[in-house]
């Protein structure tokens, strides 16, 4: 008896793949792609740092353990972001978590600078976020097609893992 060859059906597109395809289709300009690669992580950093600096209740036991620096509103922001990305792509969420670890380090360093008389971290982070939004908006103007406000917001939300997906593709890693 002759066996039939199994026809391998293509995998259905995951929501993350649909987002990436839409972003790829709407963001083609090479200059804009460079702007995105620089300013999307900076925007994320700025937003995370600003949220991090919102006053959080100081619980005495956390201060004694010296954990008060890392338990703040930024911790909740990070948890929500990682959960959202985890639902889209577990592997890419781990990459973002790695990025967040580096960003957290720099936010803590900015806190030390502020403590030593430097500028307030919240203003530095809000400035970075504002400059990033302006740069991303100007970069969006370089695209041939019109991008709706909803697509732009979606891009800002999914953009950080979209950038990581390029790294994974280059390294031929499945995400």
**Structural domain contains residue 3:** no
* The total number of structural domains that make up the chain: 1
Q: What string of pLDDT tens digits covers the 175 residues of the chain? A: 566 666 677 777 888 988 898 888 888 889 988 999 999 999 999 999 999 999 877 767 666 666 556 678 898 999 999 999 999 999 999 999 999 999 999 999 999 999 999 999 999 999 999 999 999 989 888 888 777 778 778 888 898 999 999 999 999 998 8
DSSP helix/strand/coil, 87? helix
Contact 47, 156 (CB under 8 A): no
**Structural domain contains residue 101:** yes
Task: Give the domain extent around 118.
Answer: 34-170
Tokens of 101: 């670890």
Q: What is the pTM of this model?
A: 0.83
Residue 148: exposure state from Cβ atoms within 10 A (0-12, 13-18, ≥19): exposed
**Structural domain contains residue 113:** yes
């Amino acid at each position: 008896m002759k066996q039939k060859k199994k026809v391998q059906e293509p995998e259905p597109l995951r929501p993350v793949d649909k987002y990436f395809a839409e972003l790829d289709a709407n963001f083609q300009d090479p200059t804009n792609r460079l702007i995105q690669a620089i300013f999307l992580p900076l925007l994320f950093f700025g937003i995370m740092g600003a949220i991090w600096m919102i006053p959080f209740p100081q619980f005495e036991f956390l201060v004694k353990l010296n954990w008060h620096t890392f338990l703040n509103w930024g911790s909740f922001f990070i948890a929500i972001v990682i959960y959202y990305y985890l639902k889209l792509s577990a592997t890419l969420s781990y990459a973002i978590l790695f990025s967040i670890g580096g960003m957290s380090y720099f936010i803590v360093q900015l806190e030390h600078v502020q403590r030593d008389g430097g500028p307030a971290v919240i203003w530095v982070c809000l400035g970075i976020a504002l400059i990033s939004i302006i740069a991303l908006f100007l970069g969006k103007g370089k695209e041939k097609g019109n991008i709706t406000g909803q697509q732009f917001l979606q891009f800002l939300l999914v953009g950080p893992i979209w950038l990581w997906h390029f790294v994974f593709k280059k390294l031929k890693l499945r995400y």
